[in-house]
Amino acid sequence: MSDKQRTSSLESPVNQDELILQQQRSIEKEISESIPLVGDKESLKDLEKEYEGDEIYLSKVKVLGQKYSHIRRTRPDGNCFFRAFSYAYLEKLINNKDEYNKFCDLASKSKDNLVALGFPHFTVEDFHDTFMEVIKKVGGETDVSRSELHRFFNEQGYSDYIVVYLRLITSGQLQKEADFYQNFIEGGRTVVEFCHQEVEPMYKESDHIHIIAMSTALNTGVRVRYMDRGAGTEVTAHDFPEGSTPAVHLLYRPGHYDILYP
């Protein structure tokens, strides 16, 4: 066997594994992109049909149905927490003018807060302008606001800009309270390193630390229901920040967040 053939045969399994991995990623991307960024509101009964052959999940969905009537799905692309939260919260604000005005004021001031923390003014301003545009568009008459909200969140450009800006707000909160959040970061990374690697980049999944920081920054309560294969039929609830009254309810299944409606 020549050196060239020997090298080729040695590289073959590695190349094959990489090819399989690339194909898998391509399939996952295709499946993800076939799902709307934010779906229509649907009955929680639809979730029961999804788990007809799975006794563990089915029993938990039935218990969940005693507390919630509807679900709204989001695209499973790693941005689902930020997209689900922002959609659900803005939707709730449509019916609450006082809270809407308070949030507008907070959102308006957030740009200067981020710049003061060292974020580039030009970058922050670009995303902030789009963020405020969407907020202002959903502050009017109810039916029109709901329709506009759904349209904005399913236009990739607008939808992703909202996610990016919320990621910046979350990063800003983590860095502002770095001494506190450092205790929750593993692997010897600093808060700044964690933000650059796990918070600010698109498609990075969110964990407790992201939810605590963002809900604290926006002064908004979030209740997350965790549904997994753990013992019992109860779908465990966690409120962020702890002790807050939830304005938004989300369902977490391994690796993914959707919106719940009580």
Write out the catalytic residue numbers: 77, 80, 256
CA-closest candidate to residue 78, choices 214, 207, 226, 202? 202
Q: Which amino acid is at 259?
A: I
Q: What is the Cα–Cα distance from 230 to 251, expressed in whole angstroms?
A: 15
Half-sphere exposure of 35 (CA within 13 A, CB side): 16
Q: Which residues of 70-98 are buried (b: 16+ CB within 10 A; e: fewer)?
A: bbbbbbbbbbbbbbbbbbbbbbbbbeeee
Peptide bond into 76 cis (omega under 30): no
DSSP code of residue 35: S
CB atoms within 10 A of CB 2: 7
Cα–Cα distance, 140 to 133 (Å, whole number): 13
Q: If DSSP codes are grouped into helix, strand and coil, which group holds residue 74? A: strand
